């Protein structure tokens, strides 16, 4: 499974994918527990993709911002993800896999918007945010 340092990176990434505003960001909503749970029980085969992806993202952070990914501001992290999405030369050199990143986007959304029984969406905050109310 992912180690403490990697989890720190994952949290930084998740909070870039779903940033906090008046409503919880990904980490506060439990998205990382959702992802760790998924990697442990459902998609064990993706652990190495996560590990490599987080490492590559950190390489990109060092080459662009000369700092580890998890210490960057939201704006800096957002810029890095945009570089990956537009397949910039630096992102390619750092070896960040866009397909993996798209899976992370999906996993974050699943952790944020699915039922809390899946380990994320703590207190159903995202449902309150969008206006999905369970009446029975």
Gyration radius (Cα) of the chain, Å: 15
Scanning the structure block, which residue is given the tokens 């992102």?
A: 91
Task: Looking at the chain, list the stretches that DSSP marks H as alpha helix, in order from N- to C-terminal side.
Answer: 4-17, 31-41, 47-65, 74-85, 89-94, 98-113, 125-130
Which of 3, 48, 86, 131 lies at the binding interface for another protein (CB under 8 A)? 131
Among residues 2, 12, 96, 108, the one that binds another protein under rule CB under 8 A: 108
Stretch of 56-64, 65-73, 88-96, 126-134 lying at the interface with another protein (CB under 8 A) = 126-134
Q: Scan residues 61-100 and list those touching another protein (CB under 8 A).
A: 78, 81
- Residue closer to another protein by CB (options 66, 134) is 134
Q: Is 114 in the site for another protein (CB under 8 A)?
A: yes
């Amino acid at each position: 499974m992912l180690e403490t340092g990697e989890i720190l990176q994952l949290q930084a990434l998740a909070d870039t994918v779903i940033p906090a505003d008046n409503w919880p960001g990904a980490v506060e909503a439990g998205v990382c527990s959702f992802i760790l749970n998924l990697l442990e029980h459902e998609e064990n085969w993706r652990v190495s993709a996560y590990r490599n992806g987080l490492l590559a993202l950190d390489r990109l952070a060092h080459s662009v911002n000369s700092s580890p990914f998890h210490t960057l501001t939201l704006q800096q992290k957002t810029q890095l993800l945009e570089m990956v999405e537009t397949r910039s030369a630096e992102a390619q050199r750092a070896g960040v896999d866009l397909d993996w990143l798209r899976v992370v986007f999906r996993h974050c959304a699943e952790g944020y918007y699915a039922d809390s029984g899946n380990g994320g969406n703590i207190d159903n905050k995202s449902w309150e945010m969008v206006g999905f109310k369970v009446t029975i």
